[in-house]
Amino acid sequence: MIKSLRGMNDILSEDYERFTYFIELASNIAQNYGFHYIETPLLEETALFKRSVGESSDIVGKEMYQFIDKGENDVCLRPEGTAGVVRAFIQKKLDKAGGIHRFFYHGPMFRYERPQKGRLREFHQFGVESFGVASVYEDASMIMMVADILDACGIGYRLQLNSLGDSNCMPQYRENLVKFIESVEDEICEDCKRRKKSNPIRVLDCKNEKCQSLYVDAPKLINSLCDGCQSDFEKLKKILDENNIAYEIDTNLVRGLDYYSKTAFEFVSDNIGSQSAIAGGGRYDRLVEFLDGRATPAVGFAMGIERLMELIVMPEKKREGYYFGAMDEEALELILKLTQQKRKSKKAACDYKAKNLKNHLKGADKINARFCCIIGSNELANNTIWVKDLLNKTEETISLEEF
RNA sequence: GUGGGAUUAGCUCAGUUGGUUAGAGCACUAGUUUGUGGCACUGGGGGCCGCGAGUUCGAAUCUCGUAUCCCACCCCA
């Protein structure tokens, strides 16, 4: 038997219902916030992700499905959604056009990781990107949008917040931090030595107790913000307070993608195991410029749909549609014809075998149909059809013309 | 990429110190005498015991390899 590749799942039946339920719900909310759908290719030039996500990140460094195609192009399956949207934004010259552009998307992402619960090699994200708004109000709106979506799904969460600084304060901080790390480098763990080069801020939330004790006196990013970043961060907190969005400041929160600056946030669930981040995002004011566009402020987030699926509280299923059955062989073709007519406007199922009434009612019940429509010898003789409403438990026999 | 656990029917799981034909519940299917569903009762179909080697007279059971899932690390959504 040929099986699906490691870390790749089929989505069907109940899972599919949850999946589409979430996408519809999230899409509606995104539209309420003024976002428009965008679809970008699954396959992109590898350079796009190297330049945006960053070569130092794990995602680009070791998790990409990268290969050379038949035209000798270095390509890869997208590991995340932002880079493609930014590329499209620039390619369509929307950066030159100016103004505000807001997009949402959903679709598969690919990362060659070791699978675990909540961590797949092909997984799905729902995300939004906003271009052209420098105001921190947009950051706040994004966060409130995630909260709206999670609330609508009945999902509990904790919101973690941080500011990563901008090009004024971040490089200086980074330099100071690296200097600090070097001062204790002999005693820190191997992972931290590696992080010092790739993403020095990451050392701050190392799980190793010895490292933690050494980092007590490390410089804190939150204390090194420039005036602009500091005041925006204060504004953001104030807005969230006023809108009753609870948050925790996590000074060690670092987004694993290199393009983030200023606002960084992560929504975490305590109910799905160690892969607990259900949504994450932040501001990335420099990315458009990095990718050769005109400098444009931007902010966005992405949600992991598979992680959310386990947590979504689905609305109760209602009885819906019609079930058609015949009690007489001679009526089989008639009920199929009636089913076809009904299908023009409603969900309708047809049983192809003549059975007694009891079996048909069972059948209608099993597929959760609202109406059970039967033609037997009586109905055939009188040109009528017997219809039972399985929800209200009422029944009637009506002429085929009226039906 | 590192370390650990698991894998038996469609699903959830039993399976004795290695010993006849591998079980249960749910699900599926057919009936319970012929026009009233969800219930109940009685039958029935379903298993390369993840896959491949090895030990043994004999392996679901022991050993090794391998695949997948799960847990922790790592990372992230």
- Amino acid at site A95: D
Model pLDDT for residues A248-293, shown as the tens digit of each residue: 998 878 776 777 889 999 999 988 888 899 999 999 999 999 999 9
Identify whether residues A160 and A175 lie together within a single domain: no
Q: How far is CA A230 from CA A177, A200, A239, A262, A267, in A?
A: 19, 21, 14, 9, 22
**Cα–Cα nearest to A68, from A76, A79, A59:** A76
Identify whether residues A27 and A95 lie together within a single domain: yes
ipTM for the assembly = 0.86
Is the residue at A164 inside a domain?
Answer: yes
**Cα–Cα nearest to A41, from A7, A85, A11, A9:** A85
List the A214 CA – B13 C1' distance (angstroms): 49
Identify whether residues A63 and A140 lie together within a single domain: yes
pLDDT at A318: 85
Identify whether residues A80 and A138 lie together within a single domain: yes
Identify whether residues A177 and A159 lie together within a single domain: no
Q: What percent of chain A has pLDDT over 90?
A: 61
Identify whether residues A160 and A90 lie together within a single domain: yes
Side-chain half-sphere CA neighbours of A361 within 13 A = 11
Q: Rounded to an integer, what distance in angstroms lies between the CA atom of residue A386 and that of residue A236?
A: 63
Q: Rounded to an integer, what distance in angstroms lies between the CA atom of residue A162 and that of residue A73?
A: 38
Model pLDDT for residues A53-93, shown as the tens digit of each residue: 888 788 888 899 999 999 999 999 999 999 999 999 999 99
List the A1 CA – B21 C1' distance (angstroms): 28
pLDDT at A256: 65
Per DSSP, helices labelled H in A63-205 are 82-91, 94-97, 136-152, 170-183, 190-198
Q: What percent of chain A has pLDDT over 70?
A: 99
CA of A109: nucleotide with nearest C1': B77
List the A2 CA – B57 C1' distance (angstroms): 37
Identify whether residues A62 and A158 lie together within a single domain: yes
Residue A315's pLDDT band (boundaries 50, 70, 90)?
confident
Identify whether residues A30 and A118 lie together within a single domain: yes
pLDDT at A386: 93
Model pLDDT for residues A193-228, shown as the tens digit of each residue: 777 777 777 787 776 777 777 887 888 888 889 999
CA of A359: nucleotide with nearest C1': B37
In this prediction, residues A354-359 reach a mean pLDDT of: 88
On whether the CB atoms of residues A125 and A281 are closer than 8 A, the answer is: no
Identify whether residues A117 and A209 lie together within a single domain: no
CB-proximal positions of chain B, under 7 Å: 1-2, 28-29, 31, 34-38, 67-77
Is the residue at A285 inside a domain?
Answer: yes
Residue A338's domain spans which residues?
322-399
**Positive or negative, the Cα torsion across A219, A221, A223, A227?**
positive
List the A364 CA – B9 C1' distance (angstroms): 27
The CATH number of the domain where A278 resides is what? 3.30.930.10
Q: What is this structure's pTM? A: 0.91
Is the residue at A8 inside a domain?
Answer: no
List the A140 CA – B19 C1' distance (angstroms): 70
β-pair partners for A101: A131
Identify whether residues A149 and A138 lie together within a single domain: yes
Q: Which residue is nearest to nucleotide B77 (CA to C1')?
A: A304
Model pLDDT for residues A13-66, shown as the tens digit of each residue: 888 989 999 999 999 999 999 999 999 999 999 999 999 888 878 888 889 999
In this prediction, residues A112-131 reach a mean pLDDT of: 94
Is the residue at A287 inside a domain?
Answer: yes
How many structural domains is chain A composed of? 3
Of A255, A280, A309, which residue is a domain's last?
A: A309
Q: Residue A387 above 90 pLDDT?
A: yes
On whether the CB atoms of residues A142 and A130 are closer than 8 A, the answer is: yes
